[in-house]
Amino acid sequence: MDTSPSEADHLLKLLFQAERLQHDRVYYLLVAETIFFLAASTVATPDKKHIADVFALSGAVIAIVFGFINVKTYFRILWLMRRLEEIDHTYREYLNFHRFSLVAPLKCPLDCLFKCFITPWKSDEPIAAPRLEDKIPPKLYDTGVLLALWLPIIIIATWIIFAICVRC
């Protein structure tokens, strides 16, 4: 595919902007949840349970809204990565490089753990795959999935536990 370097530069800038936007949204979510949790825990007395419930419900709703927005942003980031991978050979090699043992072989019991948590794709995969669609999708603990999906789930679970504890 013949494309100009300016298109690759444009896509790279857009990718960095989208990733920064997602990280900023995660930061805002954590700040908002901290404020809600502080307010809810301050008023969590037996006579003010309902006010604490309002804060808990508000915190859960905010987590759901931010989670939905971050999942959409995460899929847009994946699309930008696919598009940039088609254009830029170096970026494609960077995404496909996952065999850390080729760089620094580890000879200890933690080698398996290192490969499992650091390697974003299956370890028996070839080093250079032609396209992202041919690869196995990211693991459930990929950073983008953690920020977009698991963080809101953890926050909602925390609010549910908080509401149960206030009732007891």
Residue 106 has pLDDT above 60, yes or no: no
pLDDT digits (tens, 9 = 90+) for 1-20: 455 668 888 998 999 999 89
pLDDT digits (tens, 9 = 90+) for 23-77: 999 999 999 999 988 888 888 877 888 888 888 899 999 999 999 999 898 888 8
Give DSSP secondary structure letters for 25-90: HHHHHHHHHHHHHHHHHHS-SGGGHHHHHHHHHHHHHHHHHHHHHHHHHHHHHHHHHHHHHHH-HH
Contacts of 74 (CB under 8 A, 6+ apart): 22, 144, 145, 147, 148, 149
Specify the pLDDT at position 164: 86
